[in-house]
Amino acid sequence: TAATKQAKPSGRRPGVVNIETEQSLNGTRAAGTGIVLDPSGLVLTNNHVIQGATEIKGTDTDNRRTYAARVVGYDRTGDIAVIRLTGASRLKAAVFASAAGVAVGDTVTAVGNAGGKGGAPTVVTGKVTALEQAVTARDDTNGTSERLSGLIETSAPIRPGDSGGPLLNTAGKVIGINTAASAELTMDGSQPRKDHRGYAIPSDRALEVAGRIRRGEASSTVHIGPTAMLGVKVRSNGGSPGALVAEVVPGAPADAAGIPVGAAIVSLGGRPVDSSGALTALVLAHRPGDVVQLEWTTPQGALTSATIRLAEGPPQ
């Protein structure tokens, strides 16, 4: 309605968490934002905020307490994750609204841990500039990219660190999860934009995935609980089958089995590995502690196998 479009920005609302992660496997730290789903410490965020994290901390910006956090589950393709703040209680939960009524021109407010500096969240405002947008977000730290569609586009100047934070309507209700900014995107079929745009996952979709995670409903896209780890970084093997081992994590199961850099992993648990993505998916289907048969070809071409026990590793 015209009244909604002219309404004043909501300002900050309760239920925002500053997230800090440590990635000990590559010696980096990262930061993002989360949204409190319930008073007991369940928090919604983007999967890319916690991806690769070996340690996660969340600071509730209302009570200013910092908690250790663990991953409840995540959806890599939808870029949604749910974490739990250990020992949290009586937190102020965010209030959600359906994004179905959102229209171009609506005033919106984005709240988050801009720049990863912690402390009081940054609050920026803008307007909805488009709906149902598709973008490809690239992660320079690990060379991966993800395609997301059905997003809300806004002129609110979100920055790195804002990922996982709330996009609010003028009533202060969460209508989206801020996920990416135009600076870090490849736009579909168009030149990079000169004017800044932010992109948010609609609240309805985020809550649907979060509900599946909370209920423990694993699927081909939703991973529940701790993540199994083989302990290799792999890439494409050119035109040959298998996943080419680019790096072996010291002390991890692959290292203990004697898999060398330059080997090509060709099967796991009796299932063929035809690409690096296939290996990731096969490992994610297992749990830490599972014993699996692994086959690889050495750089000299000899086929070798070993039985290994998967360790617990960071979320993917």
Residues annotated as catalytic are: 48, 79, 163
3-state secondary structure (DSSP) of residue 126: strand
Contact in structure between 232 and 262 (CB atoms under 8 Å): no
Closest CA to 29 of 121, 92, 152, 113: 113
Token look-up 């900050």 returns 12
> Residue 48: in which H helix or E strand, if any?
helix 47-50
Please work out, in degrees rounded to the nearest 5, the angle formed at the alpha carbon of residue 111 by the alpha carbons of 157 and 185.
40
In degrees to the nearest 10, what's the CA dihedral of 267, 74, 256, 260? 60
3-state secondary structure (DSSP) of residue 153: strand
3-state secondary structure (DSSP) of residue 263: coil
143-157 b/e with 16+ CB inside 10 Å = b?
eeebebeebbbbebb
Residue 183 buriedness (CB in 10 A; 0-12 / 13-18 / 19+): middle
Q: CA 125 to CA 228: how far, in whole Å?
A: 40
Contact in structure between 227 and 71 (CB atoms under 8 Å): yes
Contact in structure between 223 and 79 (CB atoms under 8 Å): no
Contact in structure between 145 and 187 (CB atoms under 8 Å): no
3-state secondary structure (DSSP) of residue 19: strand
